């Protein structure tokens, strides 16, 4: 009798075994993001690509690849950066072909979460997208009939002492494996496959498992290539002020969930400022008028003091920011698996510092920059024990073990990002009103619903009040929108750079008034007129004077003042960029906002009237290969970049 797992030191041999065993009919499940076993996935995909007799269906989410430049300027910036950061990372071949609309007819790829904005114009991806709450994704994957579940794993020890870890992606696998085992017991042929990567951090607790769980274990030396990382990206003025307002809603002794992105980073930065430099933090709130406008709400739901008791992290995504919060002593509140122990801790009957064990962070999956992975590899043993990467069914909702979850998740603050909100409190984060998928719902809906169900908890949706496209600024707060991710009956708290709208339990007219207060003042009158025309607010309603000055210029004055004191760095949590690249980032962002195809030539003609005769940007132009233009096109690019660098020159 063969002892599981079958071991292979060549990916191709494992693929051949699976293809033959399943007679060429393969339904492959891959984890979200980092945990994909790239070499195995590529070998299986290319085997199917070479043999039309093989049917391959792939079900996954967030397939990641090197950034794809949109134009020549972006290519000049990204190519050297990508070579340095991604090293010998192997691309997912099916993603490359799907992005180019070149998938063979015998292969289908179905995703339930896209890299934000990456596949908006890809018809194949849009048509094969599966809309699924991430919380229910394991159930939905099982329903597809997947017969191969493959994942990258970490390994520790050798021979009989070997132990494996699901590391970055236990969230779906832990829920899915029992479903697959049940089907295997009923006679279905299903393979659980692990591919070892030596650099993957070994996470313990629920993520650790015995090799015997697997059917195939691949330890191919060619598979230990650079782990995919997502470099820290700039946090801009608007992001920072959204984060500042939201940070005053975090309640000491509570629970924290954060979504990915610059707004989440801004929230972390502000929470760290609140903890580590409370004097300047409170002064900043006063500079923005936060205490004047929302003192009662903050006193009731949040605070502006340090986190003496600390927070407990419970988040679908374990982001880099959580490590920063752990290191700063913000995430430190321990929770316990025993309901009676947790009940006594909550009541104050037992001091948690007298107890052994406990968890300060439950996470579903992780993804981030390379130094985040290194921090996870370097965790001290005691701290490692307090971080538990676990199943999505535990993290994302209350059902199943509801009693202990309610005891642990006191004063929960579930913080997520949206791109549009209506005056009536509905929100969109995953899809345009025409039906094009930007990313996916992920676990956002479930966290919002969880906030409604947990006593003392709040959902906080972060929103930039405006966006700029092709040189035109529009409001992200609108009267109505043709799609919503979060329905208005789950409306709770919305935060923009201008403030906080507390919408829970309020009538429609009061919700509209609160949303108008945090809208950009350039759009307030038009929005109010629309609401009056819809008969949703009194015809004589006036926006209070204190909310009539929501302008970028007012924020800019505050921002520049604190930047001079060393606050609000462009990259608050480290950088994979060189000093010169950091300077180029805002310039290229400025160009992207200002110059789309129809007005690129107009700006280019204007720049041609100027002389590029100073030395301020010599090294930046050299980095982009534009210091000595060899053609008219390069001369135009040089002048465009020079104009952008001038427009985004930092404070002296």
- In this chain, the answer to whether the domains covering 6-223 and 237-552 adopt an identical fold is yes
pLDDT digits (tens, 9 = 90+) for 443-465: 999 999 999 999 999 999 999 99
What band does 613 get if pLDDT is binned at 50, 70 and 90?
low
pLDDT digits (tens, 9 = 90+) for 5-41: 999 999 999 999 999 999 999 999 999 999 999 999 9
pLDDT digits (tens, 9 = 90+) for 236-279: 999 999 999 999 999 999 999 998 889 999 999 999 999 999 99
At residue 338, the pLDDT reads 97
Average pLDDT over residues 610-631: 85
Average pLDDT over residues 136-149: 97
Give the count of beta carbons closer than 10 Å to the beta carbon of residue 346: 16
Q: Is the pLDDT of residue 510 over 50?
A: yes
Q: Is the pLDDT of residue 632 over 50?
A: yes
Q: Where is pLDDT greater, at 280 or 607?
A: 280
Average pLDDT over residues 626-649: 89
What band does 68 get if pLDDT is binned at 50, 70 and 90?
confident
Our separate counts of H helices and E strands in the chain read 25, 22
Average pLDDT over residues 54-74: 93
Element of type H or E holding 184: helix 173-185
What band does 88 get if pLDDT is binned at 50, 70 and 90?
very high
At residue 345, the pLDDT reads 98
Average pLDDT over residues 555-564: 96
Q: Is 320:258 a contact under the CB 8 Å cutoff?
A: no
Percent share of the chain, pLDDT over 70: 96
What distance in Å separates the CA atoms of residue 459 and residue 649, rounded to the nearest whole number? 37
pLDDT digits (tens, 9 = 90+) for 173-208: 999 999 999 999 999 999 999 999 999 999 999 999
Q: Is the pLDDT of residue 604 over 80?
A: no
What band does 1 get if pLDDT is binned at 50, 70 and 90?
very low
pLDDT digits (tens, 9 = 90+) for 478-490: 999 999 999 999 9
Q: Is the pLDDT of residue 598 over 80?
A: no
At residue 649, the pLDDT reads 85
At residue 467, the pLDDT reads 95
At residue 293, the pLDDT reads 98
What band does 471 get if pLDDT is binned at 50, 70 and 90?
confident
Nearest one of 401, 382, 267 to 332, comparing CA atoms: 382
Q: Is the pLDDT of residue 143 over 50?
A: yes
What distance in Å separates the CA atoms of residue 568 and residue 157, rounded to the nearest whole number? 44
Structure tokens at 34: 């980092």
Q: Is 49:104 a contact under the CB 8 Å cutoff?
A: yes
Give, in order, the Cα–Cα distances in Å from 559 to each of 270, 435, 506, 574, 651. Answer: 13, 37, 33, 20, 11
Structure tokens at 493: 């708290």
At residue 599, the pLDDT reads 56
**On the CB side of 368, how many CA atoms lie within 13 Å of its CA?**
26
Average pLDDT over residues 109-116: 95
CATH hierarchy code of domain 237-552? 3.40.1080.20
Give the count of beta carbons closer than 10 Å to the beta carbon of residue 602: 11
Q: Is the pLDDT of residue 609 over 60?
A: no
Length reported for the chain = 652
Mapped onto helix, strand or coil, the DSSP state of residue 598 is helix
CATH hierarchy code of domain 6-223? 3.40.1080.10
At residue 470, the pLDDT reads 77
Give, in order, the Cα–Cα distances in Å from 636 to each of 612, 616, 619. Answer: 11, 18, 18
Q: Is 446:135 a contact under the CB 8 Å cutoff?
A: yes
Whether the CA torsion 596, 600, 603, 608 is positive or negative: it is positive
Give, as one character, the DSSP assignment of residue 212: G
At residue 650, the pLDDT reads 78
Mean pLDDT of the chain: 94
Q: Is the pLDDT of residue 139 over 70?
A: yes
In sequence order, the 6+-apart residues with CB closer than 8 A to the CB of 185 are none
Residue ranges of the domains in the chain?
Answer: 6-223, 237-552, 579-647
Any idea what the Cα angle at residue 593 is, between residues 588 and 595, rounded to 5°? 85
Nearest one of 330, 331, 339 to 314, comparing CA atoms: 331
Q: Where is pLDDT greater, at 419 or 650?
A: 419
Q: Where is pLDDT greater, at 102 or 613?
A: 102
Q: Which of 306-315, 495-504, 628-637 has the lowest mean pLDDT?
A: 628-637
Structure tokens at 553: 């210029």
Q: Is the pLDDT of residue 652 over 80?
A: no
């Amino acid at each position: 009798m063969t002892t599981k797992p079958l071991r292979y030191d060549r990916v191709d041999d494992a693929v051949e075994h699976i293809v033959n065993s399943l007679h060429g009919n393969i339904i492959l499940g891959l984890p979200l993001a980092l945990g994909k076993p790239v070499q195995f996935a590529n070998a299986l995909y290319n085997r199917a690509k070479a043999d039309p007799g093989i049917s391959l269906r792939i079900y996954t989410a967030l397939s990641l690849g090197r950034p794809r430049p949109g134009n020549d300027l972006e290519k000049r910036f990204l190519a050297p950066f990508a070579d340095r950061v991604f090293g010998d990372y192997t691309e997912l071949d099916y993603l490359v072909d799907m992005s180019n609309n070149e998938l063979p007819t015998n292969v289908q790829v179905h995703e339930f979460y896209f890299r934000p904005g990456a596949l908006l114009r890809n018809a194949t991806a849009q048509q094969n997208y599966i809309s699924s709450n991430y919380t229910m994704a394991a159930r939905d994957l099982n329903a597809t009939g997947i017969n191969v579940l493959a994942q990258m794993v970490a390994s520790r020890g050798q021979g009989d002492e070997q132990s494996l870890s699901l590391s970055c992606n236990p969230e779906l696998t832990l829920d899915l494996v029992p479903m697959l085992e049940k089907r295997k017991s009923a006679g279905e042929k299903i393979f659980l496959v692990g591919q070892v990567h030596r650099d993957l951090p070994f996470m313990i607790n629920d993520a650790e498992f015995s090799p015997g769980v697997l059917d195939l274990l691949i330890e191919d030396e060619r598979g230990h290539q650079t782990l995919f990382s997502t470099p820290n990206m700039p946090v801009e003025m608007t992001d920072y002020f959204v984060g500042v307002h939201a940070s005053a809603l975090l309640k000491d002794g509570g629970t924290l969930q954060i979504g990915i992105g610059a707004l989440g980073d801004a929230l972390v930065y502000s929470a760290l400022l609140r903890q580590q430099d409370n004097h300047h933090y409170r002064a900043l709130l006063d500079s923005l008028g936060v205490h004047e406008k929302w003192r009662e709400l903050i006193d009731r739901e949040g605070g502006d003091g340090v986190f003496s008791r600390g927070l407990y992290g419970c988040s679908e995504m374990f982001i880099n920011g959580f490590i920063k919060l752990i290191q700063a002593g913000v995430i430190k509140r321990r929770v316990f698996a025993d309901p009676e122990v947790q009940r006594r801790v909550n009541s104050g009957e037992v001091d948690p510092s007298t107890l052994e064990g406990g968890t300060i962070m439950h996470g579903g999956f992780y993804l981030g920059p390379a130094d985040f992975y290194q921090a996870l590899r370097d965790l001290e043993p005691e701290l490692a024990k307090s971080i538990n990467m676990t199943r999505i069914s535990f993290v994302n909702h209350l059902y199943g073990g509801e009693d202990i979850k309610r005891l642990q998740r006191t004063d929960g603050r579930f913080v997520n990002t949206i791109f549009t909100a209506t005056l009536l409190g509905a929100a969109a984060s995953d899809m345009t009103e025409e039906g094009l998928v930007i990313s996916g719902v992920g676990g956002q809906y479930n966290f919002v619903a969880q906030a409604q169900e947990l006593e003392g908890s709040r959902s906080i949706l972060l929103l930039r009040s405006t966006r700029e496209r092709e040189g035109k600024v529009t409001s992200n707060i609108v009267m109505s929108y043709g799609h919503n991710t979060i329905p208005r009956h789950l409306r709770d708290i919305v935060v923009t750079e201008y403030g906080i709208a507390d919408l829970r339990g309020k009538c429609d007219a009061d919700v509209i008034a609160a949303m108008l207060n945090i809208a950009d003042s350039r759009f307030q009158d038009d929005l109010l007129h629309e609401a009056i025309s819809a008969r949703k607010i009194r015809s004589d309603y006036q926006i209070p004077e204190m909310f009539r000055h929501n302008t970028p210029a007012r924020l800019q004055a505050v921002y520049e003042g604190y930047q001079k004191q060393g606050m609000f760095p462009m990259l608050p949590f480290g950088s994979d960029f060189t000093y010169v690249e950091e300077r180029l980032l805002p310039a290229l962002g400025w160009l992207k906002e200002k110059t789309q195809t129809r007005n690129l030539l107009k700006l280019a003609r204007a720049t041609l009237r100027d002389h590029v005769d100073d030395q301020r940007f010599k090294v930046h132009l050299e980095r982009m290969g534009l210091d000595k233009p060899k053609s008219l096109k390069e001369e135009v690019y040089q002048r465009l970049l020079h104009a952008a660098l001038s427009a985004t020159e930092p404070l002296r």
